[in-house]
Structure 1
Amino acid sequence: MLKIGLIGKPNAGKSTLFSAITSIDVDIANYPFTTIKPNVGISFIKDKCPENEITAKCNPREGRCVEGIRYIPVEIIDVPGLIEGASEGKGMGNEFLDNVRDADIIINLFDASGMTDLEGNPSENKHDPGEDVKFVYREIVNWMNGKISKDWQKFSRKEDNSPERLEVKMLQKAATFGLNEKDVIFIMTREKFPDKLIHWGNEDINRFSEAILKYAKPVFNIGNKSDLLTEEALKEFSGEETSYLISAQYELLIEKAFNNGYISSDGNDFTFTAKSGEAQKTVLNEIILKYKSGSIMRFYDVLTAIIKSLGYIVVYPVLDETRWEDKNGNVLPDAYLMKDGDTALDLAYKIHTDIGKNFIRAVNGRTKRIIGKDYKLLNNDVIKIISNSR
């Protein structure tokens, strides 16, 4: 499952957002360090389900499908707030940062309203949200630098005497952050580094850390508390290329209304049920008007946009390529997130290592044609894998 680390300074609204998108109750308060240990839960990205092409309704093993839209699960790790010096261990910083070690994507949630200071305390003096974005990014890079540079002289002397390629040598450091050899090779093809590790300076290590966050573990900035911004302030943010604007408070209100049966769905096109009163209708209608204006986005839509921008595609493995079922007759039971460029063999290994090792061939569920291990997967592919594995 794709893992997403949710980080930011204290009181940026991470706990509120986490509760809204995972339906897990956590402590929420308007002061720093409400969260003192990481929370882990499941959220979803959305994609059009292939069930629209057949007469049968799909039966997701995980997630759900609503009116032809598949909700595909991803893991969310809510990391307690980072303060200045977190990379040096302040505020349990190193322990907190270690929790995003295995994250595939990092979301830096910042207070777009600017009404909290760097420590996360409520403030009437407006604070520049851009400073929060820079500060959190700097702390992540410094944390990575500390991990990579540890015992560097001893490490570099030893590895410079090894016949291994530079990528293999650096993998020993990069593996600390969940990277594999393919990731390191990609970084090395995009950035220029000294051939001898002993010649690497602090700037090279810093560039390598930044390259990890650019190519292998990308960071996306999402502005929260945008419901507190004026229309003029919202327009100013519209020019920011790297930022999305959301309201965790709105997300939580919609989620609670849905869970309590006041509305028909947690999407923007919900209808009110008989349980909803005028107070609920008034509040929720005002929220939907904000979303329809386009200035504030739903987190599901932001998350989907981020994952799609990174080249992820959705693929559906099945056992029966005609009915698109598994052995129990479930239609399209699984939806896997794969990277653009992944092959049928990659899908086989994703399902199970033994299936990958014993791969024979695959079948395209739409064309019914036999495809080989090098077939490049497409978004919404329905694929049957044939293997000698038991």
Structure 2
Amino acid sequence: MCKDLKLIEKIKDEKVIPCSAETELLLRKASKSGLVDYVPGSNNFSLKENIEISSQQKKALDVVHTVFSKIETTGIQKTLNSAVFDVLKTIVVYPVEDETKFCNKDGVVFPDAKLLVDGSTAKDLAAIIHADIAKGFLHAIDCKTKQRIGAEHKLKNGDVVKIVSTLSRG
């Protein structure tokens, strides 16, 4: 954590995300070892029931509470999200095969998520899925609105899309 007020003043106009990698690592290790329930990026964790912890472990978890009280989360997930979405300008799109159930042919709901450059089109998504699907591209379906969209339709973050093609994979 930054204690140097001069440094804070110097970087006040920059995008800064306070973070603690050490706290994130501690929580992930504690979660992996079965001591706590923790979802990366969340602003809390809970001690598993019927778990005895040592005084050293309690001290470490108290440090985590202190970090959370000052910066809300470990900041690591927020930093990664900022790098991917803000700096690299990407969006997440969910390709599906069944536009009503949002699943693949095996019934797995939201089976995939694709990171695309902001401004990518439905045909770009088809090409990322498979070159043959892009070659036979007819149209796509915006699964949320149930509307047909063309090859040059610009996708938005969070879109759920079915690609309709004359060709299939491989």
TM-score by length of 2: 0.83
Corresponding residue SS for 1:329: coil
Which whole-Å CA distance do the structure 2 matches of 1:374 and 1:325 have between them? 24
Root-mean-square deviation over aligned CA pairs: 2.4
Which amino acid letter does the alignment assign opposite residue 51 of structure 2?
A: K
Which deviations, in whole Å up to 9, do the C-alpha atoms of 1:291-344 show, x marking residues without a partner? Answer: 332288521111102222132111100000000010000000101111221110
Corresponding residue SS for 1:315: strand
Q: Is residue 348 of structure 1 aligned with residue 126 of structure 2?
A: yes
Partner of 1:114: none
Corresponding residue SS for 2:28: helix
Q: Do 2:121 and 2:154's aligned partners in 1 also have CA atoms closer than 8 Å? A: yes
Match of 1:275 among 39, 51, 73: 51
Which amino acid letter does the alignment assign opposite residue 33 of structure 2?
A: N
Q: Do 2:17 and 2:78's aligned partners in 1 also have CA atoms closer than 8 Å? A: no
Q: Do 1:349 and 1:356's aligned partners in 2 also have CA atoms closer than 8 Å? A: yes
Partner of 1:324: 102
Which amino acid letter does the alignment assign opposite residue 128 of structure 2?
A: K
In the TM superposition, residue 357 of structure 1 has moved relative to its aligned partner by: 1.4
Which whole-Å CA distance do the structure 2 matches of 1:311 and 1:305 have between them? 9
Match of 1:303 among 80, 87, 92: 80
Which whole-Å CA distance do the structure 2 matches of 1:350 and 1:312 have between them? 14
Which whole-Å CA distance do the structure 2 matches of 1:375 and 1:232 have between them? 48
Relative to structure 1, the CA distance from residue 248 to residue 363 in structure 2 (aligned partners, 3 Å threshold; closer, same or farther) is same
- Structure 2 residue runs of 5 or longer lacking an equivalent are none
- Structure 1 residue runs of 5 or longer lacking an equivalent are 1-225
Q: Do 1:348 and 1:359's aligned partners in 2 also have CA atoms closer than 8 Å? A: yes
Which whole-Å CA distance do the structure 2 matches of 1:257 and 1:238 have between them? 33
Relative to structure 1, the CA distance from residue 334 to residue 388 in structure 2 (aligned partners, 3 Å threshold; closer, same or farther) is same
Which amino acid letter does the alignment assign opposite residue 262 of structure 1?
A: L
Which whole-Å CA distance do the structure 1 matches of 2:10 and 2:134 have between them? 46
Which whole-Å CA distance do the structure 2 matches of 1:389 and 1:300 have between them? 38
Match of 2:112 among 334, 353, 356: 334
Relative to structure 1, the CA distance from residue 233 to residue 290 in structure 2 (aligned partners, 3 Å threshold; closer, same or farther) is farther
Q: Is residue 257 of structure 1 aligned with residue 30 of structure 2?
A: yes
Corresponding residue SS for 1:384: strand
Which amino acid letter does the alignment assign opposite residue 104 of structure 2?
A: D
Partner of 1:87: none
In the TM superposition, residue 351 of structure 1 has moved relative to its aligned partner by: 0.7
Which whole-Å CA distance do the structure 2 matches of 1:260 and 1:236 have between them? 40
Which whole-Å CA distance do the structure 2 matches of 1:303 and 1:233 have between them? 26
1:40-59 correspondence runs (5 A): none
State how many pairs are aligned. 163
Partner of 2:70: 293
Which protein has the bigger helix share? 1
Percent of aligned pairs sharing the same letter:
37
TM-score by length of 1: 0.39
Which deviations, in whole Å up to 9, do the C-alpha atoms of 1:252-310 show, x marking residues without a partner? Answer: 11111010111111433211113251542332232232233228852111110222213
Which whole-Å CA distance do the structure 2 matches of 1:280 and 1:387 have between them? 56
Which whole-Å CA distance do the structure 2 matches of 1:297 and 1:237 have between them? 23
